[in-house]
Amino acid sequence: MDTNSAKLKSQMTQALLIIPFGPIGLIYSNWQLATLLTFIAVAFAGAFFFMVILLWPLSWVAGFYTVKRHNVLARQFISLRKRQENAGI
């Protein structure tokens, strides 16, 4: 992430993407984790219990924390960008 493209992400958007798409909705916040959980979901496609009871809630929790982590880093970059602008750099 560079200082010019740092933007905050929405927890609500992440949650709304996970409701219909499950692990694929994690692409919004963490494409590596989305890929891993999607492969796990495909591998256990026949196990409905595993998919719905374990992967969807896991996706929600992972989405919450990845957006939170992204926003912490983005706030640091945004703060740096503002300091640079104020310093005339």
**This model's pTM is above 0.85:** no
Q: Report d(CA 60, CA 66) in Å as an integer.
A: 10
3-state SS assignment for residue 4: coil
pLDDT digits over 7-59, tens only? 899 999 999 999 999 889 999 999 999 999 888 888 887 777 777 788 889 99
